[in-house]
Amino acid sequence: MVLGIIVEGDADAQAYTALIPRIRRDEVTVIPEPCGGAARLRKRFVDRLKRCEYIHHVDKALVIRDSDCRGPKVVEDELEQELRHSGFKPSFPVHFYAPNCTLDTWLLADEAAVKQVAQDRQRNQGGLPKIVRIKPLTGPLEGGKNAKTLFRQMLYQAGLPATAPVYAEVSAVASIDRIAQRCPYFQLFVECVHAC
């Protein structure tokens, strides 16, 4: 199956491309279509869906936009309404999903994944892995408006840059169960991915 994902930016594109096959566990090819930010996603996602139809020939598409800690359902409904008003009717099913806050919230849930990525990168550069100490976050993660800042601080503690490849590497090793345990709204993403 070929799944098109319309996302905000490059970090989202790489992270979701790493996460989705781990969730589905079947033969899925993910075609990312980043839009250059949240505001641009809203303006461009219909054109990206057209690319999915006419260029990529996807079987299904998933439009993902961070809710930025406002009601995820509100964001999803706005996007769905925007597609209806556009007049474009894709030949494939389109699903809309807004994480409760941001993708960074999920990646904060598993500090061990960040530590593993840091140590793997050290090994790949030919050195012995240094001890990486990351201060674990306690309490609920969803609902916090500073997830992006906190995740970047976590990356900094591990000596990692906040780049799209690092987001992908963390997403590739993060525990799906740990994310689901610490971020209850993540389960709706899992269901959405399986529905695609």
Q: What is the pLDDT of residues 79-114, one digit of tens each?
A: 999 999 999 999 999 999 998 878 999 999 999 999
Residue 11 one-letter amino acid: A
Can you tell me whether residue 30 is helix, strand or coil? Answer: strand
d(CA 139, CA 142): 9
Tell me the domains of the chain and their CATH numbers: 2-101+185-195 (3.40.50), 104-182 (no CATH)
Average pLDDT, the chain: 92
pLDDT score, position 142: 79
Close Cβ partners of 156 (under 8 Å, ≥ 6 residues apart): 162
pLDDT score, position 34: 97
The secondary structure of 32-90, three-state, reads: EEECCCHHHHHHHHHHHHHHHHHHHCCCEEEEECCCCCCCHHHHHHHHHHHHHHHCCCC
What pTM does this model have? 0.91
pLDDT score, position 99: 87
Listed residue (56, 8, 14, 58) closest to 35, CA to CA: 8
pLDDT score, position 170: 98
d(CA 32, CA 130): 34
Judged against a pLDDT cut of 80, whether residue 140 lies above it is answered with no
